[in-house]
Amino acid sequence: MPRRYDPERRQRIIDAAIRVVGEKGIAGLSHRTVAAEADVPLGSTTYHFATLDELMVAALRQANEGFAKVVAARGAFDDPRRDLADELAGLLGEWLGGERTGVELEYELYLAALRRPALRPVAAEWGQDLAGPLAERTDPVTARALVALLDGICLQVLLTGGEYDAAYTREMLARLIP
C-alpha cells in the first residue's frame, strides 16, 4: 500500500503531545500515548521525533508562543511613552487571565528542562525573547531582572492557585525600572 501524503501529520503529533501533557502531565507523555491521541501509527511519531526529548522540544517551542502572541497582540513595547511597568503588568494579567490550562502546560514543559537538558535551550528562549525588547526600553541587566520577576510571579500564581494581583506586579516592576 503506498504511503499516504499527510503534510500536517508532524503538527498533529505536536498538538497531540501538548494535549497529552495537559491531561496526563509529563509522566504520561510517550510516543505511544501521543500516537493514540493524534490517531497516527506509532511509527509516525518516531519518524518525525526520534526521541521523546525531540518531541518535547517541539511541544515546548510551540507552547512558548502563547506569551509571545499576547505581547505581539498588545504591541506593548511599540510606544516608548507607555509606562513599561503598566504594560508588563497588563501583559501578565492578560496571559494569566486567559485559559490557565495553557499557561500551566507551558510551565510544566518549561520546568521539565530541570531534568531534561535537551529542553534547556528552548526553555531559555522565552526569557531571551522577552528580554530583547525590554533591553531596548531599559538595559540588558534590568531586562533580565524584569523577566525573572515576571517568571517568579507567574510561578507563584500557578503554584498557589492564587489570583493575579496586577497592582502588586506593577509596583514590583516599577521598583526595577530605572
Across the range 36-40, mean pLDDT stands at: 95
CA gap 5, 157 in Å, rounded: 44
Confidence band, pLDDT 50/70/90 cuts, at residue 4: low
Across the range 22-37, mean pLDDT stands at: 93
Q: What is the pLDDT, as a whole number, of residue 1?
A: 44
Across the range 8-31, mean pLDDT stands at: 92
How far, rounded to the nearest angstrom, does the alpha carbon of residue 22 sit from its chain's CA centroid?
13
Q: What is the pLDDT, as a whole number, of residue 42?
A: 93
Q: What is the pLDDT of residues 58-94, one digit of tens each?
A: 988 888 887 777 777 777 777 888 899 999 999 999 8
CA gap 173, 86 in Å, rounded: 8
Cell 521525533, located at residue = 49
Plot region of 165 (φ>0 → left; ψ -120 to 50 → alpha; else → beta): beta
Tell me: pLDDT of 106 over 70.
yes
Tell me: pLDDT of 37 over 70.
yes
Q: What is the pLDDT, as a whole number, of residue 3?
A: 56
pTM greater than 0.75: yes
CATH 2.60.120.10 fits 64-176, yes or no: no
> What residue segments make up the domains of the chain, in order of their start?
1-50, 64-176
Check if the beta carbon of residue 138 is closer than 8 Å to that of residue 177.
yes
Across the range 15-40, mean pLDDT stands at: 93
Confidence band, pLDDT 50/70/90 cuts, at residue 178: confident
Tell me: pLDDT of 55 over 90.
yes
**Looking at the domain 1-50, which fold is it?**
Arc Repressor Mutant, subunit A (1.10.10)
Is residue 37 packed enough to be buried (19+ CB in 10 Å), middle (13-18) or exposed (0-12)?
buried
Confidence band, pLDDT 50/70/90 cuts, at residue 109: confident
